[in-house]
Structure 1
Amino acid sequence: MATVAAAARAAQSAAAEAHNKPRGPGVRTAAVIGAGTIGLGWTALFASAGLTVRVNSRRADAEAHVRRAFELYAGSLPGGPADPEALFARLEFEPDVARAVEGADVVQENAPENLALKQELFATIGAAAPSHALLLSSTSTLLPDDLGARMTDPGRLLVAHPFNPPHIVPLVEIVTGRRTGPRVVEEAMAFYRGLGKTPVVLRRAVPGFVANRLQSALLRESIHLVREGVVSVAELDEIVISSIGGRWAAVGPFRAFHLGGGPGGLRHWFEHLGAGLEKSWEGLGNPPVDEETVATILSQAEEAFGNRAYEELAAERDAKQTRVIGAVSGPKAEA
């Protein structure tokens, strides 16, 4: 028993050390603009990485709002469970945008998807933040050239789009503008890698970027199958969790079909099954998002999981995702 207790204390000490060690080259202070779901996730992750985090929010209850979120997030951070109060002690709250970004090494913007609002924010941020600061937007729809239209130097701005929840899911999609310099991209990649994230630079900007387009394609067919009465909402979720969800946690779609082709790989797979792809795509659904469809989805969703609180569902999701990511995040050569 003493050995087990000692091991537990050692594990707790190691986790605490990980949470107290700043990660990200040269970064000590991060400003997080906005305290919605994405902003809260970034705030928790940055604080867990040992950074001083300035939270900029127009909410009158911003401090209480963030404290509640930390109670939910602290148990599923990448470095292991953390003390919410220790994380909260690393925060500063500043409602004025210009003052929030003064002296910051990184600015992560998470305002609503309103182009005019974001342009105004980045005009202020660009003028007030230090010249070395990384200026990053979590937008899922807007492009850097548009976001930085009112900035003196829009080449400093990058889109760094996370996949929700950002304190857990590794992906960050990096989208550049016409005037973005390679140094800015390199520094952003180094920053996110230092946090344990997986940043990917898109070779070309497309609406919705990549991860959300893939998610949208699966969601469209999911809604179609439920609307047509093939499966229920709960059954559709179970099918995905029990098949492609687990598979895609280990390998992506292309590698999965490469392995599906046997020793001949993806080439063999295309030779034998590729001819039927276009025909199978023609049979996919294109459901209307009308009142009937929405009512069907909502009634089944409420029956499936509507009797459980958001906090309970989110905590369960975060704990499971953390375990899955930990299980598959070994050396690339073993992937």
Structure 2
Amino acid sequence: MNSKMNKIEQLAVIGTGVIGNGWIARFLAMGYDVVAFDPAEGAAERTRLAIERAWPSLEQMGLAEGASTARVTFVPTIEEAVKNADLIQENVPEREELKKNVLKSIDQYAKPEAIIASSTSGIKPSTLQEGLQHPARLIVAHPFNPVYILPLVELVGGEATTSSIMERANQFYQSIEMKPLIIQKEIEGHVADRLMEALWRESLHLVNDGIATTEEIDAAIIYGAGLRWAQMGPFLTFHLAGGDKGMRHMLEQFGPALKLPWTKLEAPELTNDLKEKVISGCEVHAGDVPIAELEVKRNEFLVKLLDLVEEYWHEPNKVSS
């Protein structure tokens, strides 16, 4: 494959919900043209509004030369959206059969050398490759909301994915200022969502059992673990907890406690009572502040926090001697 065929210039986005629009905003901010398709009524207008909300944060982070909110075009069919694309980002709802059908259409109309990247948060790429004419070029590229700010993208190849496709994808996502995490072994939910799911399940149990309110649980993360995790993550955080001997001492001292039944692990039944506790707790916590205003505050915080993360991030395998 020659260098021109390797180059990613034309981008398509299929499905323009929260994640799809987040991708569009990031792509535009990096100076790309985007062709989008979504059959839902009013999709183009919702995308325009989403880009407008995201743009102040993107301006603060720094726009690429030529970046413009006007460089997105909606088209009426998947064929028209993907026919000239070098990379297609799929973001339809998380229903396996729906995704497979959409991906088959993309695969049918896209150029053979185009990369097809699914934003799926839970489905394994090998499952999505089933029935495709060109399964080798399909990968998972799972981002995190808001996509236009958070840099992590989990890249997962399926049984048919080639190493050259993974390398091209890795280079592309790095080029749009993301932090690709290449998952070596596919698993449902990938890595980051499995970690968040474990915390989410335990949080629901604590609310359900009347141990803590939604606001108290959020405070426990915000002013405790969350601050440390933003810099070091759980493993290096515990490494420091072991004192001068690091993780070795930490496991010796606290390892036995892992046998204690502190966590529930399995999710509680999502009863109407639990739903109301969670919903009412969040509504009380948020008060009268509209979601759109909360998003603005979140974005402002994340942009500032990312600067700190970059300043203090401990690069793996780059410990000074």
Q: TM-score, normalised by structure 2?
A: 0.90
Which amino acid is 1:149 matched to? E
Residues 1:329 and 1:178: Cα distance change in structure 2 (over 3 Å): same
Q: Deviations over 1:209-230 (max 9, x none)?
A: 1111111111122122222333
CA distance in 1, matches of 2:99, 2:274: 33
More moved, 181-190 vs 214-223: 214-223
| 8 A Cα contact 2:198 2:265, kept in partner | no
Q: How does 1:123-142 map to 2 (within 5 A)?
A: 123-142=104-123
Counterpart of 1:177 in structure 2 is 158
Which amino acid is 1:178 matched to? E
CA distance in 2, matches of 1:306, 1:111: 32
Alignment size in residue pairs: 310
1:196 pairs with one of 144, 168, 177: 177
Counterpart of 2:196 in structure 1 is 215
2:37 pairs with one of 50, 53, 56: 56
1:279 pairs with one of 229, 237, 260: 260
Counterpart of 1:114 in structure 2 is 95
3-state SS, counterpart of residue 51 of structure 2: helix
1:262 aligns to 2:243 (yes or no): yes
CA distance in 2, matches of 1:133, 1:284: 41
Residues 1:179 and 1:284: Cα distance change in structure 2 (over 3 Å): closer
Percentage of identical aligned residues: 36
Counterpart of 1:30 in structure 2 is 11
CA distance in 1, matches of 2:263, 2:99: 39
Which amino acid is 1:104 matched to? A
Residues 1:264 and 1:119: Cα distance change in structure 2 (over 3 Å): same
CA distance in 1, matches of 2:161, 2:197: 28
Q: TM-score, normalised by structure 1?
A: 0.86
After superposition, the CA RMSD in angstroms is 2.2
Counterpart of 1:313 in structure 2 is 294
1:250 pairs with one of 222, 225, 231: 231
CA distance in 1, matches of 2:319, 2:296: 29
Shift, 1:280, TM fit: 4.7
Q: Deviations over 1:209-265 (max 9, x none)?
A: 111111111112212222233322112111211111110000011111111111101
More moved, 86-95 vs 277-286: 277-286
Counterpart of 2:3 in structure 1 is none
| 8 A Cα contact 1:110 1:139, kept in partner | yes
Structure 1 gaps, min length 5: 1-24
Counterpart of 1:44 in structure 2 is 25
CA distance in 2, matches of 1:78, 1:238: 30
Residues 1:88 and 1:334: Cα distance change in structure 2 (over 3 Å): farther
1:322 aligns to 2:303 (yes or no): yes
Which amino acid is 1:111 matched to? V
